[in-house]
Amino acid sequence: MNLTAPATIANYIGGSLQAPIGGKYMDNINPATGKVYSQTPDSDMKDVEEAVGAAKAAFPTWSTTPAEERFSILNKIAQLIDDNLNVLAMAETNDNGKPLWLSKMVDIPRASSNFRFFATGIMHFSTESHNMENKAINYTIRQPIGVVGCISPWNLPLYLFTWKIAPALAAGNCVIAKPSEVTPMTAYLLSIICMKAGLPAGVLNILHGGGPNCGSAIVSHPDIKAISFTGSTRAGRDIASIAAPMFKKVSLELGGKNPNIIFADCDWDKMMRTTLQSSFSNQGQICLCGSRILVEESIYEKFKAEFVTRAKKLTVGDPLDDTSRQGAIVSKLHFDKVLGCIALAKEEGGTVLAGGNVVKLTGRCEDGLFIEPTIIEGLGPNCRTNMEEIFGPVVTIQSFKTEDEALQLANTSDYGLSATIWTQDVSRANRVAGKVHSGIIWVNCWLLRDLRTPFGGFKNSGVGREGGWDALRFFTEPKNVCIEL
Ligand code: NAD
């Protein structure tokens, strides 16, 4: 199979590649070079209408296709993703600016794992039965919902796109999916893979376009019965306000401002190595990055000295270069936002201990969007820098004296996605994990993911959980059948 990134991306509707009905396109820019390298459809309501028609036509057959057959097609998609690792990784890096080694090691392998995991999951999915002694027996059946919408962001493009699509398809739904307009290429390449894998026409439809036109047309379409969304809290709020009065099922995976709580008894080397990753991986553009680092007072100065020294040594460079630890920021809009946040931190009285500047590269990347890993201290928990999501290579450090103070600082946030705790004291780890208001807690590790576990946040970080049975339950409707004996 010859998979190549084209100059003009097409929508995937009813099993074939199609130009947007309105004929409009947007520039797709490589953030490492600043150059336009392809055109992305700027789809709208008309394209959504056509995709919904195709999905509705495909639903009766797909929803009654035996699980074993769905398993087999989804596994084939996983295999084709693996077979095309290099092309997909290059497309992800060109769209997003992340180092190529990261796309190859994490993003693309995780996309095939998502398909393989939910292909297998649907073979083991079961429902409950409730026996009323001699009176009656209840059994629950779970049926696919129908046509569902999946909308994803730019930070982990194919990884998060497939995290939604795979369970939706495995459960027997037909899908209208939209990747971020900022990183459309791997979703386009997935269309070709699905055609090659024999996914029946209309079962998955991939539309490209912006949030206000294409995304909101998906959310407000009356025949799309559930929306699985990952993205900003702002867009999540808009989506909830449209979906709620239509009584749609909604899963919202939103922003974060995650605390990284470091106690003096931590395993120092592991903590330091992992904290550099949890601060700056993917240029800090992972919803699970720890952006508020809280350090016990007795080790604060030692932590600060080593963390700053090591952050300054992280090479910011061409994403195609194996030695680059940091690549480009995803877009000019986001680059300006991150620089604005650094300026705000200074206005609020913060001291920049490392970074804070634009990195100017030469050659191919001379017009690229690069920012140094940035560490800020001297700000209290309630300032905007510590309350608002930056989603870039910028972290703050604060010190605490007691466990209670650490918890208070950690929980001073409108977000509650994830938290990391560093201590060798098991009792304290359990105690603190129980009291931090976040949906995902890592103790002495970060980003260690078991796809069976519930994934999602408290407070402004979202509603609902993805992963494992939670995802398959979200994409099915339970129905209880009661039979009197
Ligand atoms: P975004 O909200 O701007 O866009 C996400 C997607 O939603 C894109 O496909 C976009 O086109 C679409 N969209 C935007 N507005 C819409 C609307 N009104 N209706 C329908 N669709 C709309 O987010 P982004 O900038 O692409 O991604 C960064 C954000 O995503 C950060 O806040 C980050 O924390 C969050 N995120 C969360 C998780 C998680 O699992 N909780 C994972 C990754 C990223």
pLDDT at 1: 73
Q: In the predicted model, what is the mean pLDDT of the chain?
A: 98
How many Cα neighbours within 13 Å face the side chain of 147?
24
Fold of 11-254+461-484: Aldehyde Dehydrogenase; Chain A, domain 1 (3.40.605)
Domain limits, the chain = 11-254+461-484, 258-455
pLDDT at 358: 98
Report the atom number in ligand 1 closest to the C-alpha of 182.
26
Residue 438 CA to ligand 1 center (angstroms) comes to 19
> Does any ligand 1 atom lie closer than 6 A to the CB of residue 239?
yes
Binned at pLDDT 50, 70 and 90, residue 423 comes out as very high
Residue located nearest, by CA, to atom 42 of ligand 1 = 287
d(CA 26, CA 22): 12
> Does any ligand 1 atom lie closer than 6 A to the CB of residue 157?
no
Residue located nearest, by CA, to atom 21 of ligand 1 = 215
- Where does residue 6 fall: left (phi above 0), alpha (psi -120 to 50 degrees), or beta otherwise? beta
Report the atom number in ligand 1 closest to the C-alpha of 210.
11
- Please tell me if the domain spanning 11-254+461-484 has the same topology as the one spanning 258-455: no
Instruction: Decide if pLDDT at 321 tops 80.
Output: yes
d(CA 227, CA 365): 38
Cβ atoms 89, 112 nearer than 8 A? no
> Does any ligand 1 atom lie closer than 6 A to the CB of residue 211?
yes
> Does any ligand 1 atom lie closer than 6 A to the CB of residue 225?
no
Catalytic residue among 181, 253, 296, 372: 253
> Does any ligand 1 atom lie closer than 6 A to the CB of residue 390?
no
Instruction: Decide if pLDDT at 426 tops 80.
Output: yes
Catalytic residue among 287, 289, 341, 365: 287
Report the atom number in ligand 1 closest to the C-alpha of 287.
34
> Does any ligand 1 atom lie closer than 6 A to the CB of residue 238?
yes
Domain 258-455: homologous superfamily in CATH: Aldehyde Dehydrogenase; Chain A, domain 2 (3.40.309.10)
pLDDT at 140: 98
CA nearest neighbour of 62 among 198, 159, 217, 190: 198
287 is catalytic: yes
CA nearest neighbour of 161 among 115, 192, 94: 115
Residue 318 CA to ligand 1 center (angstroms) comes to 26
Cβ atoms 109, 167 nearer than 8 A? no
Claim: this prediction has a pTM higher than 0.95: yes
d(CA 459, CA 416): 6
Residues 6+ apart with CB under 8 A from 277: 446, 447
Q: Each residue of 13-36: pLDDT tens digit? A: 999 999 999 999 999 999 999 999
pLDDT at 2: 79
> Does any ligand 1 atom lie closer than 6 A to the CB of residue 420?
no
- Counting ligand 1 atoms within 8 A of each CB, the residue from 155, 253, 438 with the most, and so the one to mutate, is 155
pLDDT at 454: 98
Residue 231 CA to ligand 1 center (angstroms) comes to 2
Residue 410 CA to ligand 1 center (angstroms) comes to 24
DSSP assignment, residue 65? Answer: S
> Does any ligand 1 atom lie closer than 6 A to the CB of residue 439?
no
Cβ atoms 387, 257 nearer than 8 A? yes
Residue located nearest, by CA, to atom 8 of ligand 1 = 180
The per-residue b/e assignment along 245-266, b for 16 or more CB within 10 angstroms, e otherwise, is eeebbbbbbbbbbbbbbbbbeb
154 burial class (0-12, 13-18, 19+ CB within 10 angstroms)? buried
Residue 334 CA to ligand 1 center (angstroms) comes to 12
Report the atom number in ligand 1 closest to the C-alpha of 457.
41
Residue 126 CA to ligand 1 center (angstroms) comes to 32
484 is catalytic: no
CA nearest neighbour of 453 among 470, 438, 437, 435: 470
> Does any ligand 1 atom lie closer than 6 A to the CB of residue 159?
no
Residue 422 CA to ligand 1 center (angstroms) comes to 30
CA nearest neighbour of 241 among 211, 261, 262, 216: 216
